[in-house]
Amino acid sequence: MDTDLKRESKATRKTKDKITTSPTKRWFRRLYTQRHLQVMALLGVVWMLIFNYIPMYGIIIAFKEFNIVESIADAPWVGWEHFKAFMDDENLPDVIRNTLGISLIKLFIGFPLPIIFALFLNELRSVRFKKAVQTISYLPHFLSWVILGGILTTWLADVGIINNVLMALHLIKEPISYLAEPQYFWTIVITSDIWKELGWSAIIYLAAMAGVSPEMYEAATIDGAGRFQKMWYITLPGIQATIAILFILAVSGVLNSNFDQILVLRNSLNESASNVIDIYVYQTGLLSGRFSYSTAIGLIKSIIALILLVIANQVTKKLNNTSLF
């Protein structure tokens, strides 16, 4: 009895303390009890402020005529001049066509492939074989595009393995310089990007599939459902939220064409098919010294990406009630 009374009195005192203590004091008390976690979070906030928010001051370069001799503050204002110049640029149609062409094909082909791959990989019964396939599939992700670009350049050369195999199979009569022909560039870029990121992208979906309740599969088995029916009616709905979030992020990055990859694989012969926004900004900004002009292009790209992010977020929110914000 005495023990129960003590417990009740302690609980009563805690309740009274919560009522009498002001919300500010409770907030500081909770902050103190979580001080170690708060310090870790604070370091991340400081990092973001230094490397993500403070550099945003440089956006005003897009509205000025900046050069490396003067400071940003001393550069004269030119308003929307650089934005208008980009809209009148003769390279704009090719840049937009290449950027959207490569990115949209990657989105419609490269986005669902990791989902399909993860679905079939999840159905493998042999754990050893499953681990071997998964390891082999995501190994290219850890290689930089400098290394992979050199490998692809060697494979696609006139005397490379691709030409040798195709000629041995009598599919072509003479070797083709694939990287010298603009009509092959999009296919090379999209295929190599899927090859590099397929296994790594599937890891997220495999982790989401691990959270699907096994009882649902057992109930489906009792009802006589096959493996493909389980995949369609249980696994896919179980990872629907993960797919929606990754799709939102993929749509927002549709103007990103993988700068590293294209920079390694492009040359003067395939320039008409490889001149995307990121490459054009690099050429005009760093190589030609038109810093204000390239900043204006980058700002336009960021605004469009933000608009696409909001649109994709609202669409997925209405379709399956899943969104980033």
Q: Does the structure show a pLDDT above 60 at 3?
A: no
Q: What is the pLDDT of residues 157-167, one digit of tens each?
A: 888 899 999 99
pLDDT tens-digit map of 274-305: 999 999 999 998 888 889 999 999 999 999 99
Answer yes or no: is pLDDT of 91 > 60. yes
Rounded Cα distance, 197 and 141, in Å: 6
Angle formed by the axes of helices 145-155 and 182-209, nearest 10°: 130
Output the 3-class SS for 76-95. CECCCHHHHHHHCCCCHHHH
- In the predicted model, what is the mean pLDDT of the chain? 88
Residues in the chain: 325
- Sorted by where each starts, the structural domains of the chain and their CATH numbers stand as 16-60 (no CATH), 64-320 (1.10.3720.10)
pLDDT-derived band at 325 (thresholds 50, 70, 90) equals confident
Nearest CA-CA partner of 106 in 287, 256, 5: 256
Q: Are 206 and 122 in contact (CB under 8 A)?
A: yes
Residue pair 78/64 in contact (Cβ under 8 Å)? The answer is yes
Report the predicted TM-score, pTM, of the whole model to 2 decimal places: 0.82
Q: Above 90 in pLDDT, residue 19?
A: no
d(C-alpha 102, C-alpha 189), whole Å: 8
pLDDT of residue 20: 57
